[in-house]
Amino acid sequence: MSELTNYYFVNNVNQKHIIMSLSPKKFYDIHFHAMDLSHANITAFTDRFINNPDAIKKILDGDFPWWKKSLYSLLGPLLPVAGPFVSNRFLARKITGQLAKLKNVRNLLSFMETSVMYDFLIIEHFLKNDHADENKNVDERKIVNADNSFTVDGYTYNKIVLCPLVMDFGYPNLRNKDVYYNIPPQKPVVSQICDLYEAIYTYFKKELTIKNENDIIKFEVRDTSQGKGEKLFEIYPFMGINTANYTLEKIERMLEKYFADFRKNDSPEQRYQRLYDAMGEFDGRTVQDAQFRNIFAGIKLYPPLGFNPWPEESAVEMKKVETLYSYCAERNIPIITHCSTGGFVASPEHTKFTNPGGQWAKVLADPRFKKLKIDFAHMGVNDPGWTDTIFKMALNSEMNVFTDISSICDSPDYYAELKEVIGAYPTGANNKVLYGSDFMINLLNVRSYNQYMKYFTDTSQLSPVQKHLFANANPEKFLFG
């Protein structure tokens, strides 16, 4: 059983902040996804590239340096003449070569093709074992030791806490006017929940081994002798909900079903223990309501899929969000909301709904909801105004706002920019930043879960105390405090 201990972080010369820390020390990934191709909104995913000039420009910038562009511009006038003499086979090879360079997309789709049931076992295997490339050369060393320990700048951790965020794809408002079967895909969130919890159950009951048979890599899963406390991961998911997809009565039933045991006056130890006791006990298939208690740590909201944080034009929809916020405020339930200009975009009003200074500012201006515990994910990336709004909210003592670095720290070079962004605000901003990976979506920009994590653990742009705050103390306060 974990115990709660305290240590001090000096915020400035005249002030100290007591920061709780569960022992053994845990490294938190507050923003994680566990889903396979049957869950994701693939249409919205592919539209990120088909209808995204910035993504195409990024590919072109990498494949067409200035000298190629100059050469092609000179050859341009000749194309009408030469075109008929260029063979289709030649063009096919060129196109295939370009597509082969999109390794990150292929890497992501390869991972998502495997059933979500095995996600946690696979990620653990790669964290705890060296990885060899196709030539059998070790190109990535393990991060975690056999006893689950790993050290980051003097801090030793014994657990990794994952917070998978369920995406309520529901009935996305996709306007597929250019396709024949243009009925928006239906993605009932309950099926994703069942699959996710079967995966968690499998992780705590099984172990994975890798076999190489005639240069074909396979894995097999068998029963494990390890107890829950001996596993590397603790897993505390967030329930995805889009209030527009349900009636008010259904929303009320869902909240009671999953969060009825939460209390505002829960101590951090009580909140943690409830979640820990329920973790790995629900097999994803049992239908008794008692099995659903305490299986979620919080709620995930996703404006790009059509969630409107403040639908004041509709009394019916306003009542739904007011019910949601009131329940969360009364029971200290943390909320994570997507906050970047990208993502799985299905709503034409996604920017309006996502902007922390727009609809969300109206939510937090309401005295009933001012203290809602909210993580504005991705730090408002790609819009400096959004980032500034988030940090001003986070530093407002009348609010309870956090932000996370998921998916944005996909290069070692980015940490210099992150240091500059955080450094522009009072030092209290360090108490409001959470580590997150956005795995598996971040595979569009990094090679592996390991690589994203190592960028964080190895950077010299953040101090050891900052890293410990972001990956341990702040997430514990957000989840349990």
- Tell me the pLDDT band of 55, cut-offs 50, 70 and 90: low
Between CA 374 and CA 338 the distance in angstroms is: 10
Q: Rounded to two decimals, what is the model's pTM?
A: 0.85
- Provide the pairing of β-strand 3-12 with 15-23: antiparallel
DSSP codes, 248-270: HHHHHHHHHHHHTT--TT--HHH
What pLDDT is stored for residue 48 in this prediction?
Answer: 52
Beta strands in 302-372 (DSSP E): 335-337
Annotated domain spans of the chain: 26-39+114-480, 64-107
Reduced to 3 states, what is the DSSP secondary structure of residue 129? coil
Cross-strand partners of 301: 337
Q: pLDDT higher for 342 or 144? A: 144
Reduced to 3 states, what is the DSSP secondary structure of residue 407? coil
Reduced to 3 states, what is the DSSP secondary structure of residue 400? strand
pLDDT at 163 over 70: yes
Neighbours of 361 (CB within 10 A): 14
- Provide the pairing of β-strand 373-376 with 335-337: parallel
- Tell me the pLDDT band of 161, cut-offs 50, 70 and 90: very high
Position 316, amino acid: V
What pLDDT is stored for residue 185 in this prediction?
Answer: 61
Between CA 234 and CA 476 the distance in angstroms is: 13
Q: Which fold has domain 26-39+114-480?
A: TIM Barrel (3.20.20)
How confident is the model over 283-310, as a mean pLDDT?
87
- Tell me the pLDDT band of 284, cut-offs 50, 70 and 90: confident
Lowest mean pLDDT among 47-61, 229-243, 315-329, 429-443: 47-61
Q: pLDDT higher for 13 or 68? A: 68
- Tell me the pLDDT band of 94, cut-offs 50, 70 and 90: low
Q: pLDDT higher for 82 or 312? A: 312
How confident is the model over 314-320, as a mean pLDDT?
98
What pLDDT is stored for residue 315 in this prediction?
Answer: 98
What pLDDT is stored for residue 5 in this prediction?
Answer: 39
* Burial (0-12, 13-18, 19+ Cβ within 10 Å), 238: buried
Question: pLDDT (tens digit, 9 = 90+) per residue, 1-16?
Answer: 344 333 333 343 333 3
Question: pLDDT (tens digit, 9 = 90+) per residue, 215-227?
Answer: 777 889 999 999 9
Do 204 and 277 meet the contact criterion of CB atoms below 8 Å apart? no
Q: pLDDT higher for 193 or 331? A: 331
CA angle 254, 245, 302 (to 5 degrees): 90
How confident is the model over 266-278, as a mean pLDDT?
95
Between CA 105 and CA 428 the distance in angstroms is: 38
